[in-house]
Amino acid sequence: MFKHKTLSLMILATLGASASLSFAAPTISRLTPPSNPLVAGASTLARFLPGQRFDLQATVIPEAGKTITAVSFAVDGVPVVAPLANTSILPATAINVAKPGAVAASLRAYSNSTVGVHSLTATATQSDGTSTVATGNFEVMPILTGQGRTAKNVILLLGDGMGAAHRTAARVMVKGYAQGMAQGKLAMDTFPFTGMVMTASLNSIVTDSAPGMANYVTGNKAQNNQEGVFPDDTTDAFDNPRVEYLSEYLHRTKGKSLGIVTTADVFDATPAANAVHTSNRGSGTGIVDQYLDDRSLTGLTVLMGGGRKWFIPKNSAIAAANPVNVGNGSVRSTSNDYVLPADLVAGWGAAPGAKDPNRDLISDFQTAGYAYASDKTSMDASGTPDKLLGLFSYSNMNVAFDKINKRRGTSTIVDDYGFPDQPMLDEMTSKAISVLNKNNTNGFYLMVEGASIDKQSHLMDSDRWIEETIEFDRAVKVAQDFAASNPDTLVIVTADHECAGVGIIGAYTGTGASSANVATYDAAKFPKYAIQADGYPLTTDVPGKMVIGYAGNADRYETWQSNAQPSQDSQQPFIGAAPLNTYPVTLIGQPNTRNVSTGYLITGQVAGDQGVHTATDIPLSAYGRGAMLFSGVMDNTDVFFKIGQVVLGGSK
């Protein structure tokens, strides 16, 4: 019978000492949550708010021919006792460790409210009676009182992949410069406090978007590809040791609601890493099911973005109004769905899940009381419902560059994708705030993502990511205006990482595709774009337009002109059918040949067809209640505890 587990990844010196004994001891090869084995007596990894829940787990390998008979856990030398239903020992058949008899022992939803650093031990015993101990630590962070008033609402706007240069480029385009002075500021530029964020994940200096978001809203480092969990040795993508999200913690302790708004597919890493627990960010069916199934844990009230393909029953009939007459768009599958182990269900009160590719998830959301919007028109017509689901495309929404040109009547790209009436991010943000603020007794946490700043930076499509950043800033203004009239609101603007090593290197002053036409220094002058009433430039191809360089780039063919069509989005279910199959193709792992006949070759630093994330620190700006805490250089996990201080303890 289990008693409890540990936080740590420190294999004891006793393991080495045991080699001299007549009986070899078992080995604890992984202890979770992870501790830092290089810093004696201090934790630099596992930190939690008072009472924040997290799982304990140990991977144990017995001596050859033996079996593991018991695993127990202690905190500060005191055994930790938990209900039997909250514990489990998985056999070797369910884990990846290639050792006979290996087990993964779990204890779910542990919490500790005593501030300070705590020692943790796990003791494993095998069938011959020999045992071993692994030791680690974790820290419960203090919440200071008497610091000022608390924040009722938190709005975190995340420009995916948005580094300092992305912000600068948007300002140059939409505000302009004259005689060395910016002729205006972005909304995010007007925030009174700014800091820099270090973005590393648990296992790399270069993060992907899953831990890039999760680190902000759990206070703990996640591994690349993983959301709301610690790494483990099991084969199941949904049974990893969990750590409680900001949304879950605030809903459980304060009754706050959750809103998630994105221009990406809602299964994507950033939105999911606010509410879904998985070690595989690609497990789309299980991810979207968890949004609804665990709404009682997260307080999910608003979910808007793309991703309808995950919500449609796999075997439903082809819709008569389907814009592309190939299937119904569903990609639901048993292979990426979820069923949770019993101990996780018992410990967390989570839904057990089911392998149900024929689930009609839109209908299930509606049955649960969510109004459903399929386009901007229905979103606007929904009024202010109690809860709202909005799915505006099969996968990622179209980018601002193409949505705006559709509204102007100069492009049919969004028609080709089958969703001509998509809202802009600022419109979605305004709707989300109105829903969340309805009967807003306890407050809310809202995450807003400008997703394709990153996606278009990967593709090195400069004009599209710049307009994505402009669209994102317009959403920032919506949040800022709300906070100005609701001063108990904290607004944070940041990114999960920088993408592609963006730099503004000059201006394009020629007529051909050549580096000779890139003007630098004095010759670059000040680009001037004609901004229209809708807030976007009439055209991005102006004389002396900005030239964007990339330090994290793959080979590409550059024309310095805007691309009439976006590159194919491999996430779209009908990408192989006309008209989308006529769009420019980028093939993973192969050189980018877009504009090969019209551009000139710029060689890159990385293989393949896309730019990559970088480890460059990114800016964070804060406005409203507690904004003063968000200055200086900070780790991404620090942001979580600063938010906790503002919401729980208060700040000036």
**For the chain, what is the mean pLDDT?**
92
Residue 510's pLDDT band (cuts 50, 70, 90)? confident
Beta strand pairing call for 193-198 and 87-90: unpaired
Mean pLDDT of 512-519: 86
Q: Counting Cβ atoms within 10 Å, is residue 377 exposed (0-12), middle (13-18) or buried (19+)?
A: exposed
Q: What is the mean pLDDT of residues 454-471?
A: 98
The percent of residues above 90 in pLDDT, for the chain, comes to: 85
* Residues catalogued as catalytic: 209
What span, in angstroms and rounded, lies between the C-alpha atoms of 470 and 485?
23
In the predicted model, what is the mean pLDDT of residues 300-314?
97
Question: Is 268 known as a binding-site position?
Answer: yes
Residue 97: is its pLDDT beyond 90? no
Rounded to whole angstroms, the Cα distance separating 75 from 325 reads 60
Does the N-terminal peptide bond of residue 527 adopt cis geometry, omega within 30 degrees of 0? no
Sign of CA dihedral 406, 410, 415, 416: negative
pLDDT tens digits along 394-404: 999 999 999 99
Mean pLDDT of 40-53: 82
118 among the known binding-site residues? no
pTM of the model: 0.94
Statement: residue 38 has pLDDT above 70: no
What pLDDT shows up at residue 4? Answer: 35
**Paired tokens of 444:** 């809310």
Q: Is pLDDT at 447 greater than 70 in this prediction?
A: yes
Contact 7, 136 (CB under 8 A): yes
Nearest to 269 by CA among 575, 475, 551, 571: 571
Report which secondary-structure segment, H or E, holds 173: helix 164-174
Task: Judge whether 613 is annotated as a binding position.
Answer: yes
Confidence of residue 40 (pLDDT cuts 50, 70, 90): low
**What's the first-to-final CA gap in the chain, in angstroms?**
49
Query: Is a pLDDT exceeding 50 seen at residue 259?
Result: yes
Contact in structure between 446 and 155 (CB atoms under 8 Å): yes
And the tokens for 439?
Answer: 């009967």
Which pLDDT score, from 0 to 100, does residue 354 have? 98
Alpha carbon distance 242, 537 (integer Å): 45
Question: Amino acid identity of 473?
Answer: D
Report whether pLDDT(42) > 80.
Answer: no
454 is in an annotated binding site: yes
Write down the pLDDT at residue 37: 60
Query: What three-state secondary structure class fits 149?
Result: strand
SS3 category, 367: helix
Lookup: tokens for 592: 């980018």
Torsions phi, psi of 609, nearest 5? -110, 0
Q: Give 589-600 pLDDT, tens digit per residue.
A: 777 889 999 999
Report the alpha-carbon distance of residue 210 to residue 32 in Å, rounded. 19
> Domains along the chain?
25-138 (2.60.40.10), 151-499+615-647 (3.40.720.10)
Question: Any binding-site annotation on 160?
Answer: yes
Tell me the pLDDT band of 642, cut-offs 50, 70 and 90: very high
- Give pLDDT, residue 514: 84
270 is in an annotated binding site: yes
pLDDT band at 621 (very low <50, low <70, confident <90, very high): very high
- The residue-averaged pLDDT of 604-623 equals 96
Query: Tens digit of pLDDT for each residue in 160-175?
Result: 999 999 999 999 999 9
425 has a pLDDT exceeding 50:
yes
Q: What is the pLDDT of residue 91?
A: 85
